[in-house]
Structure 1
Amino acid sequence: MALERLKDMIFRLSEKINKQINIMEVCGTHTVAIFRHGIRSIIPSNIRLLSGPGCPVCVTPVEDIDRMLFIAKKPEVILTTFGDMMRVPGSNGSLYRAKAEGADIRMVYSPLDALNIAEQNREKKIVFFAVGFETTSPLIAATLYEADRRGVPNFFIYSVHKLVPPALEVLINTEDLKLDGFILPGHVSTIIGSKVYEFIASKYKKACVITGFDADDILNAIAMLLMQIIEKSPKIEIQYRDAVKPEGNPKAVEILYRYFEPCDSNWRGIGVIPNSGLRLKEEFLHRDALRLFDTPEIKSVEPRGCQCGLVLRGIKNPPECPLFAKKCTPENPVGACMVSSEGSCAAYYKYGAS
């Protein structure tokens, strides 16, 4: 459907709703796409798009960065991680800074790259800082399988993986947000499917659409959400049908839960959410970096003045943070939301309020 027709449809539908509609996207790629396409500037004023905790780098708390910094400085360790994690500030510096000071920290594009480093450096302990949602965690599980298959004993992970559905329930119950619906994540949903979200519609009566990342995908999703709200028929709809099936990807889910099990997890700006993280199962704890290293009690400190936590909960927009575009910029990030390309602050800084 042409963009102009979609835009007209959204305006017609919005006129039938005599209140502000709060819709949250919970995928960092959607956040960037909404800014890049200028979606906010072409929809009616009574539709408010909120950015949620859809960036795994952003929701990783300072305490986890601090633990990685402690481990990375050990002479027998090679720490491996994705590029965005290198720049996230801990209480006393970042992994980039630790690397500059002599720690052996290497950026990788895949956990398989980290496993190859372990295979080539058997005298070292290789730790992979495992960050991500359900999109990347099956790949970590597959890498653990491969480590055992190849017989590589010196490969370990520190899992800070997060699960999306438990976080959505917390957001629904955040009174300040008064959410009417969700644009559900496309990439995550290719793995877990749509059925896992049913509680949002059945229990909480919130409209939900899983969509893709083009402008027409997102506008289509907004129109579908408005129709659900007008008809008072909340459901989980899939607009992104080429990639997402109701059952998801059973093989990916099977290998994920072969190695991991849900656990309580701390989210930056939100706090501990029950069963929202992933830890290694008992039989695979020989791969757990925290079990390998006796990390001391670390008193982690959030950056003073940073409003990243409120931005991640959708309560504040990035410019409402006193540090935004002043002390905190992509070149000199204070908070994690300005580090990752999927972070709300980084997207707002690059594209403006569009």
Structure 2
Amino acid sequence: MTIEKALLELRRKDLTSKIVKEIKQFKRPKEKVRIMHVCGTHEYTISRSGIRSLLPEWIEVIPGPGCPVCVCPAAYIDAAIQVGLENKDTIIASFGDMLKVPGTKLSLMNARAKGLNLKLIYSPSEALQLAKETPSKNIMLLAVGFETTAPMVASQLLNNPPENFYILSAHRLIPPVMEYLLQREDIKIDAFIPPGHVSTIIGQKPFDKIARKYKVPMVIAGFEPVDVLLAILMLLKMLENGEHYCDNEYIRAVRYDGNLKAQEIIHGVFKEERAYWRGIGYVDASGLALKDEFGENDAVKIYGIDIESLIKVEQKHIVKGCRCSDVILGKAYPTDCPLFGKACTPQRPVGPCMVSSEGTCSIWFKYGGRSTRII
């Protein structure tokens, strides 16, 4: 079967209708069922397809911290800007969706107008190639992303990088932050839809451990509307039966143990550390820092970046009215924010959730999280 035929099969209206009908047959519980996902692409699918409008009102599908750009601390943006402006021989290489993300004072885009030498890249390999082609300049890659991006960044350091290539790692890990959310008494989560892209790398196993530990059912889902709806149906059945493990709807891409080669690459270059998340705070063992043997390519060491001091500055920098933190934590929807669609738009974002294409606020601005669009 070709990819086109497979997608057409997944997008059959009768199949979608059948799943929705089965979901609606569940008996309404005393309290709402809150299902959290932690993936910007899942939120895109849910909002663009109007999935929430198809569900009974007692089912809430909540976006969590699934956008790596949104949770990247302002401290790392401030650090990149500081390094670039103070060192004219340094080019800052960054993915496009980071350019408008606000630091405490400036975004990378604003800083470019003040003299920052900024290079837009589409993959980490472009930054490495830039370093090879411009030996007279230092290239600092602002590495942002979850487990999906980490192996691509790590592989650059295993590919004989030149001496002028440095990495500022702002990588974050999903399982630790999911545990953090489950430990919070002020956030009610009945079930999880783990991120599909991350699951292709780390597999089903880490989520299965968390599901059993906290007695919260989970189902890994793909990115078609029918994938998400089927995951919701599977979760409702697990809740009804009192089952607490991680199932896998996305069997066409995710294995139980994940991509072992990609994991080997990550662990060969990075080490886990306690890390700060924008809108959340510190989460144990949730960040990736370069191992000591890659110190010659570590921007933190080479440029003497004091991330902790910059984080303290960030913690004092509060944007009045912005509820990005609550949106990231699943405590509010974008429309609960007084700035949403008014003072804060994709053209003039106030908070990080309005910047990236994976940001919940940006998606809701474009499609409306409670859209009535028919699949």
> Is TM-score (shorter-chain normalized) higher than 0.5?
yes
The worse-fitting range, judged by mean Cα deviation, of 96-105 and 230-239 is 96-105
Mapped partners of 2:349, 2:150: distance in 1: 27
Please name the residue that 1:334 is paired with: 350
Do residues 246 (structure 1) and 262 (structure 2) align? no
Using the TM superposition, give the Cα deviation of residue 203 of structure 1 relative to its aligned residue in structure 2, in angstroms: 1.4
Please name the residue that 2:298 is paired with: 288
The structure 2 residue matched to 1:236, chosen from 246, 249, 252, is: 246
Mapped partners of 1:8, 1:289: distance in 2: 54
The structure 2 residue matched to 1:115, chosen from 112, 115, 128, is: 128
Aligned ranges 1:11-30 → 2 under 5 Å? 11-13=24-26, 15=27, 17-30=29-42
**Secondary structure at the counterpart of residue 188 of structure 2:** coil
C-alpha offsets along residues 223-260 of structure 1, whole Å, 9 cap, x if unaligned? 00000000001111000001000010000000110000
Contact 1:209 1:237 in 2 (8 A): yes
Stretches of 4+ aligned residues off by more than 6 angstroms: none
* Matched length: 350
Please name the residue that 2:322 is paired with: 306
C-alpha offsets along residues 279-321 of structure 1, whole Å, 9 cap, x if unaligned? 0111111111111113464423243321111110000111111
Structure 1 stretches of 5 or more lacking a match?
A: none
Mapped partners of 1:282, 1:93: distance in 2: 31
Do residues 183 (structure 1) and 193 (structure 2) align? yes
Please name the residue that 2:164 is paired with: 154
Task: Tell me which amino acid in the other structure corresponds to 1:283.
Answer: E
The worse-fitting range, judged by mean Cα deviation, of 329-338 and 313-322 is 313-322
Please name the residue that 2:109 is paired with: 96
Please name the residue that 1:37 is paired with: 49
Using the TM superposition, give the Cα deviation of residue 336 of structure 1 relative to its aligned residue in structure 2, in angstroms: 0.3
RMSD of aligned Cα (Å):
1.2
Please name the residue that 1:60 is paired with: 72
Mapped partners of 1:155, 1:288: distance in 2: 9
Contact 1:17 1:230 in 2 (8 A): no
Using the TM superposition, give the Cα deviation of residue 64 of structure 1 relative to its aligned residue in structure 2, in angstroms: 1.4
Do residues 50 (structure 1) and 66 (structure 2) align? no
C-alpha offsets along residues 9-60 of structure 1, whole Å, 9 cap, x if unaligned? 11112x2534310000101110111101101101001001110000000001
Mapped partners of 1:175, 1:45: distance in 2: 24
C-alpha offsets along residues 190-247 of structure 1, whole Å, 9 cap, x if unaligned? 0000111123221111010001011100000000000000000111100000100001
**Secondary structure at the counterpart of residue 160 of structure 1:** strand
Using the TM superposition, give the Cα deviation of residue 322 of structure 1 relative to its aligned residue in structure 2, in angstroms: 1.5
Contact 1:308 1:336 in 2 (8 A): yes
Mapped partners of 2:133, 2:262: distance in 1: 28
C-alpha offsets along residues 124-157 of structure 1, whole Å, 9 cap, x if unaligned? 11000000000010011111111x2xx5111000
Please name the residue that 1:124 is paired with: 137
- TM-score, normalised by the number of residues in structure 2: 0.91
Task: Tell me which amino acid in the other structure corresponds to 1:318.
Answer: P
Mapped partners of 2:211, 2:146: distance in 1: 22
Contact 1:182 1:208 in 2 (8 A): yes
Mapped partners of 1:64, 1:229: distance in 2: 40
Percent identity, aligned pairs only?
44
C-alpha offsets along residues 88-123 of structure 1, whole Å, 9 cap, x if unaligned? 011111101111222110110001000111001111
The structure 2 residue matched to 1:75, chosen from 78, 84, 88, is: 88
Task: Tell me which amino acid in the other structure corresponds to 1:28.
Answer: G
Contact 1:70 1:295 in 2 (8 A): no
**Secondary structure at the counterpart of residue 282 of structure 2:** strand
Using the TM superposition, give the Cα deviation of residue 181 of structure 1 relative to its aligned residue in structure 2, in angstroms: 0.4
**Secondary structure at the counterpart of residue 349 of structure 2:** coil
Task: Tell me which amino acid in the other structure corresponds to 2:169.
Answer: S
**Secondary structure at the counterpart of residue 66 of structure 1:** helix
Contact 1:91 1:303 in 2 (8 A): no
Do residues 322 (structure 1) and 338 (structure 2) align? yes
